[in-house]
Amino acid sequence: ITGLPFSVYSQFRIEERFGFNKMTIGLFIKDQIKSLILSGIIISILLMGLFLFMDKAGSLWWLIASAGFMTFQILLSIIYPLVIAPIFNKFTPLEEDGLKKSLEILAEKLKFRTTGIFVMDGSRRSGHSNAYFTGVGKAKRIVLYDTLVSILSNSQISAVLAHEIG
Catalytic residues: 164
Beta sheet of 91-93, edge-to-edge order? 91-93, 117-120, 141-145, 131-134
Q: Return contacts of 27-33, CB within 8 angstroms, 24+ apart.
A: 27/124, 27/125, 31/88, 31/125, 32/4, 32/7
Which amino acid appears at position 41 of this protein? I
Size of the chain in residues: 166
Give the angle subtended at the CA of 80 by the CAs of 73 and 33, to the nearest 5°: 105
